[in-house]
Amino acid sequence: MATKTYSILPILSLLAVSGCAQLLGFDDVSEASDAGPTVADAAADAMVDPLACALEEITPALGTSTGNTEANTNERDLSCGSVDSNDLLLGWRAPVTDYFVFTTIGSSFDTVLALFDGCDGDELFCNNNVGPGSESELVVKLEQDSDVLVAIDGFAGDTGDVTLSVERVSCPDSDLEGQTFPLTLTTAGFGDDFQGQCGGDLQEDRAYHYVAPADGMYAFTAIGEGHSAIVTLIDGSRCEDRILGCNAAPEPQFTSEVVRRLSAGQSVSVFVDGVEGAGAFDLDIKQVATTCPSEPLSVNTVVLGDYEARSMSSSCSTVEVRNGVNIKQELNDKTYLVSVPSAGKGCFGSCDITVGSSGAFSVALLEGSDCSGAEEQCLQGAEAPGSTTLQVSMDETEITTHTLIVTDRNPLDGGGFTVEMQCSLACA
């Protein structure tokens, strides 16, 4: 990994910007040459160079570089947190078409990081803090040979030493954009890189990038051929990002599926694993017409619920079972919008969500109000007839929202269920 210290002298030339398209490419990275352009070339290109404002070109493209903003001026105000702060503007060219991680981890000050479409172009991406720290991070997909202007700024006037790292995303290593579904793929030969809540330990697996083309509910489905498949959906372009949910098929040729609401342009990662075994599987990704959540759940009100056609899935229930005549049957469910009241300043409390039924069921809770969030809890109901309770903490000042999923695990049981939310609090 190369290390380079940036000067504050303008570079003579940078290569012209090409368009940024969503294409697939996983060629080997070739290290950029240290040889710069000639003075004659710089003079010819100076009038049309879209990155002439950059202080330096990052070469080689991948690795860690260093610099400092203290002696610079304020050239850019970034949308996510910098105003009147000295910044460092750098030119960067994508060596291949892929997802890349830009980070300022290791810098000596509170950084703000952005990518621009050239000196006169729009801000493409911006990040202030990643996690609880003061470092910045961007994960973006760029086409081979496309040029971007990298801006490293300081929050609230902060300045100091810059450490900028740029690396390719190694997992997932395959891209599903532009594909026609369903696809027949395989996990065989790809190694064991992942184990989640739904299993997959010591089983070969495969991860893929996917970008939602439009707003809507999306179903991610895998059916294993000769093995039981597991689908895990991750909110982000890297395997280590936050898991939204997972689901495992009960046996080979049965469906495993995760359903979530996605926004147009949202990037997710799809992991396909096996309960026991590996091999070929059919992968399908499609928008589904479903209402989720279907109705609100009020505090201190007992609701008599009836199952509806399945809209969601959870980690503690399958989406299909064998019925009384040994045929696959899809399970039904019902979804509710849960609004947990705030406890108030100086107070604390929680809400109990209790589901009861005469038949077998499972209950899951997602964060957020629109069926897009990560699964927070999932429990199978007690022996029928019985009840199961989920407990949710109150925030001191904010109302929090969740999506409740109640799934009928045995349609032969018949009947519905009851659901009730009761809240209690205490104040100092």
Q: Where do runs of H (alpha helix) occur along 107-214? A: none
**Among candidate residues 90, 156, 147, the one with its CA nearest the CA of residue 128:** 156
Of residues 113 and 381, more confidence is placed in: 113
Confidence label for 23 from pLDDT (cuts 50, 70 and 90): very low
Average pLDDT over residues 207-212: 97
| Whole-angstrom distance, CA of residue 217 vs CA of residue 371 | 8
Confidence label for 12 from pLDDT (cuts 50, 70 and 90): very low
- Please give the sequence-ordered ranges of beta strands (E in DSSP) within 206-274, or none if there are none: 206-211, 216-224, 229-235, 242-248, 255-262, 267-274
Residue 7 has pLDDT above 90, yes or no: no
- The pLDDT of residue 384: 78
Residue 20 has pLDDT above 60, yes or no: no
270 by Cβ neighbours in 10 Å (0-12 / 13-18 / 19+) ranks as buried
Q: Model confidence over 25-74: pLDDT tens digits?
A: 323 333 333 333 433 343 444 445 767 888 888 999 999 999 999 989 88
Third-level CATH fold of 295-427: Jelly Rolls (2.60.120)
Confidence label for 10 from pLDDT (cuts 50, 70 and 90): very low
**Among candidate residues 142, 66, 147, the one with its CA nearest the CA of residue 111:** 66
Token digits of residue 362: 């499972």
Third-level CATH fold of 183-288: Jelly Rolls (2.60.120)
The residue with tokens 């702060």 is 85
- Domain boundary assignment for the chain: 39-168, 183-288, 295-427
| Whole-angstrom distance, CA of residue 301 vs CA of residue 131 | 38
Average pLDDT over residues 241-258: 97
The residue with tokens 């969030």 is 373
- The pLDDT of residue 360: 92
Q: Are 406 and 419 in contact (CB under 8 A)?
A: yes
Average pLDDT of the chain?
87
| Whole-angstrom distance, CA of residue 344 vs CA of residue 395 | 8
Question: DSSP 3-state assignment of 68?
Answer: strand
Question: Within a 10 A sphere around the Cβ of 366, how many other Cβ atoms?
Answer: 29
Residue at 273: amino acid letter: D
- The pLDDT of residue 28: 30
Of residues 218 and 46, more confidence is placed in: 218
Of residues 289 and 32, more confidence is placed in: 289
In this prediction, what percent of the chain has a pLDDT beyond 70? 89
Q: Are 230 and 276 in contact (CB under 8 A)?
A: no
Of residues 82 and 241, more confidence is placed in: 241
- The pLDDT of residue 314: 97
- Please give the sequence-ordered ranges of beta strands (E in DSSP) within 7-130, or none if there are none: 56-57, 63-68, 88-93, 98-103, 111-116, 123-127
Handedness of CA 276, 281, 284, 289 (dihedral sign): negative
Average pLDDT over residues 228-257: 96
Q: Are 390 and 338 in contact (CB under 8 A)?
A: no
| Whole-angstrom distance, CA of residue 171 vs CA of residue 155 | 31
45-49, 107-111, 199-203: lowest mean pLDDT where?
45-49
Q: Model confidence over 118-150: pLDDT tens digits?
A: 888 899 999 998 877 789 999 999 999 999 999
- The pLDDT of residue 48: 56
Q: Model confidence over 357-412: pLDDT tens digits?
A: 999 999 999 999 999 999 999 999 887 789 999 999 999 999 999 999 999 998 88
DSSP-assigned letter for residue 41:
H
Q: What is the CATH number of domain 39-168?
A: 2.60.120.380
The residue with tokens 């009947």 is 415
**Among candidate residues 230, 232, 224, the one with its CA nearest the CA of residue 279:** 224
Average pLDDT over residues 71-91: 88
Q: Model confidence over 305-347: pLDDT tens digits?
A: 999 999 999 999 999 998 877 889 999 999 999 999 999 999 9
Token digits of residue 185: 């793929």
DSSP state letters, 75-107: ----TTT-SS---EEEEEE-SSSEEEEEE-TT-
| Whole-angstrom distance, CA of residue 81 vs CA of residue 112 | 7
Two domains, one topology: 183-288 and 295-427: yes
DSSP state letters, 385-426: SEEEEEEEEPPSS--EEEEEEEEES-GGG---EEEEEEEEEE
